[in-house]
Amino acid sequence: MPERPQRIVVVGGGMAAVRLSEHLAGDDRFAVTVLADEASPPYNRILLSAVLEGTHAADALTLRSAEWYAEHGIDLRLGARVLEVDREAREVVLVDGQRVGFDRLVLACGSIPTLPPIRGLVRRDGTLDPRVHAFRSLDDCRRLDEATRMLVEAERGRATRPRAVVVGGGLLGLQVARALAVRGLLTEVVEGADHLLASQVGSGAGAVLARDLRRLGSEVYTGARAVRLTGDGLQLDNGYVLPSDLVVLAAGGRPSTALARRAGLMVRRGVVVDHTLISVTDDRVHAIGDCAEHRRRTTGFVPPAWEQAEVLARVMRGEEATYDGSRSVARLRATGLDVAVLGDPERAEGEVVEVTNPLAGSHRRLVVHGGRIVAAALVGDLSRVGLITQLYDRGTLLGPDEPGQLLLPEAADAPAPLPDEAEVCACAGVTAGEVRACGSVGECVDRTRATTGCGGCADGVRRLVEGSPTPVAVG
């Protein structure tokens, strides 16, 4: 008799879960079940701010349709919330009492928003103040979109503009702030650190971002914390009150680990896994994406989550594969703000090469160790990010003058075409040659998944498919 397929149960419907499904699709050795607790098919969370801004329709965020899962033999269950993991019985228990058996369990639970210690956010009946919005899911986005639309319509024709305060000056906070500003709200950002994007870039880059936001009409308050929400607005710890028709909580999140803790798995900040993404507690349980902790580090970005999904798929197929956790690429997608971060430019060891022009709104920083780029931060001008990413990924040995030359603006005359081996989509690891081999953008998306991460490479992919010689930026 033929051997029974391994039952793979994936808990979570985020971008890591989708990527793993893509890698396992069509392999008869596996029977894959994806338990997604939202009602919509898995979608691109990175582009939620684009939906809020109005540049993308909500249905355009869907990564794979429900029909795709069915066609590839994957059992996608929407609205399936997992209550418990019974490791002894090798079953997950849903809130409706159903039990789903597994041979291997993959926790891809993502992260959950943190509620900052601001008095007045929660009313006496336990509900949030109606002005307060989280921004983590498509439902959150729809609620905020509707609240924004109602405010703009109510204030139409009046002298005052509706006011929004975004709590958190990280990647998510800046995306939301720009989207609300584009929609017509007077938007302010409150960040407790001394500069914006403090987890990714230094004070020089943060100052450039703050200047750009102010130029675009958004005020920034750094080194300040929101402490109380009153009828007059959001009060800061310096006593200043920001009038607030909307308050968006974007002060980060934490790995979703409650399910793993209840199952008795080892959890620190995230679910602790080894170099093959297997739980150190149970070799039948894996974790990938935001909820996984590898070498005492968790990530909140798409590229490492997708890399983990690929490695795990290879491990499940019996191939030699390990995850070293060294590659980290982050992009900010927001109108008027361009940011790319490679590695950890503030903590990486090495010599720093830096160029800042706040008047032009640009900041470029390379960290070079042993002649190789080990980290980078680029704000404003991303014309060289594709080449820098390629050198960073390959560990290319540079001459003493090359790092400085990489930080100079592109020459205006006759730019050299991007070589086939240069990476264009950092999220999916897609090269220029792979894009050029496609006959259309749609074919490229389907074959390579380029543009389905942060979306920053969309223009570059289009130009490469069309054969344009114009330089393209990595996404």
pLDDT digits (tens, 9 = 90+) for 235-249: 999 999 999 999 999
The pLDDT of residue 53 is 93
Torsion of CA 187, 190, 194, 199, to 10 degrees: -90
Pairwise CA distance, residues 376 & 348, whole Å: 9
Question: For residue 158, which amino acid is it?
Answer: R
The pLDDT of residue 49 is 92
Kindly write down the DSSP assignment for every residue of 105-138, as one continuous string. Answer: EEE---EEE-----BTSB-TTSPBPTTEEE-SSH
Inside any domain, residue 185: yes
> The tokens 């900041």 sit on which residue?
363
Q: Answer yes or no: do 163 and 77 share one domain.
A: no
Where does a domain end: 407, 433, 456? 407
Inside any domain, residue 474: no
Q: Answer yes or no: do 260 and 246 share one domain.
A: no
Q: Answer yes or no: do 175 and 262 share one domain.
A: no
Do residues 275 and 322 lie in contact, with contact meaning Cβ atoms separated by under 8 Å? Answer: yes
Residue 27 has pLDDT above 90, yes or no: yes
The pLDDT of residue 38 is 94
Alpha helices for 327-450 (secondary structure H): 385-394, 402-406, 432-436, 441-448
The pLDDT of residue 455 is 67
Q: What's the rounded mean pLDDT across residues 96-103?
A: 96
The pLDDT of residue 163 is 95
pLDDT digits (tens, 9 = 90+) for 133-179: 999 999 999 999 999 999 999 887 676 889 999 999 998 999 999 99
The pLDDT of residue 216 is 82
pLDDT digits (tens, 9 = 90+) for 150-162: 999 988 767 688 9
For the packed helices 171-182 and 203-215, what is the interaxial angle rounded to 10 degrees?
10
Do residues 410 and 471 lie in contact, with contact meaning Cβ atoms separated by under 8 Å? Answer: yes
Q: Answer yes or no: do 357 and 302 share one domain.
A: no
pLDDT digits (tens, 9 = 90+) for 331-357: 776 767 788 999 889 889 999 999 988
Q: Answer yes or no: do 22 and 95 share one domain.
A: yes
Pairwise CA distance, residues 302 & 45, whole Å: 10
- Which string of b and e fits 307-321 if b means at least 16 CB within 10 Å? bbbbbbbebbeeeeb
Where does a domain end: 200, 219, 251? 251
Average pLDDT, the chain: 89
Q: Answer yes or no: do 368 and 283 share one domain.
A: no
Q: Answer yes or no: do 367 and 380 share one domain.
A: yes
Do residues 244 and 204 lie in contact, with contact meaning Cβ atoms separated by under 8 Å? Answer: no
Q: Is 283 exposed, middle or buried (0-12, 13-18, 19+ CB in 10 A)?
A: exposed
pLDDT digits (tens, 9 = 90+) for 286-315: 999 999 999 999 988 888 999 999 999 999
Question: What count of residues does the chain have?
Answer: 475
Where does a domain end: 207, 232, 251? 251
Residue 204 has pLDDT above 50, yes or no: yes
413 band by pLDDT with thresholds 50, 70 and 90: very low
Inside any domain, residue 219: yes
Query: How many structural domains does the chain have?
Result: 4
The pLDDT of residue 414 is 42
Q: Which two tokens stand for residue 79?
A: 């609205």
Q: What's the rounded mean pLDDT across residues 376-399?
A: 87
> Can you give the pTM of this predicted structure?
0.87
417 band by pLDDT with thresholds 50, 70 and 90: low
CATH number at residue 242: 3.50.50.60
Q: Is 131 exposed, middle or buried (0-12, 13-18, 19+ CB in 10 A)?
A: buried
Q: Answer yes or no: do 86 and 192 share one domain.
A: no
Question: What order do you get walking across the sheet with 362-369 strand by strand?
Answer: 329-334, 337-342, 372-379, 362-369, 351-357
Q: Is 19 exposed, middle or buried (0-12, 13-18, 19+ CB in 10 A)?
A: buried
Inside any domain, residue 74: yes
Inside any domain, residue 105: yes
CATH number at residue 443: 1.10.10.1100
Inside any domain, residue 276: yes
Q: Answer yes or no: do 43 and 92 share one domain.
A: yes
Do residues 287 and 268 lie in contact, with contact meaning Cβ atoms separated by under 8 Å? Answer: no
Residue 469 has pLDDT above 80, yes or no: no
Instruction: Determine what percent of the chain falls in helix, strand and coil, rounding each to the nearest 5.
Output: 30, 25, 45
Q: Answer yes or no: do 188 and 281 share one domain.
A: no
Q: Which domain holds residue 374?
A: 338-407
Inside any domain, residue 118: no
Q: Answer yes or no: do 234 and 137 share one domain.
A: yes
Inside any domain, residue 63: yes
The pLDDT of residue 306 is 93
240 vs 252, more confident: 240
Q: Answer yes or no: do 53 and 148 share one domain.
A: no
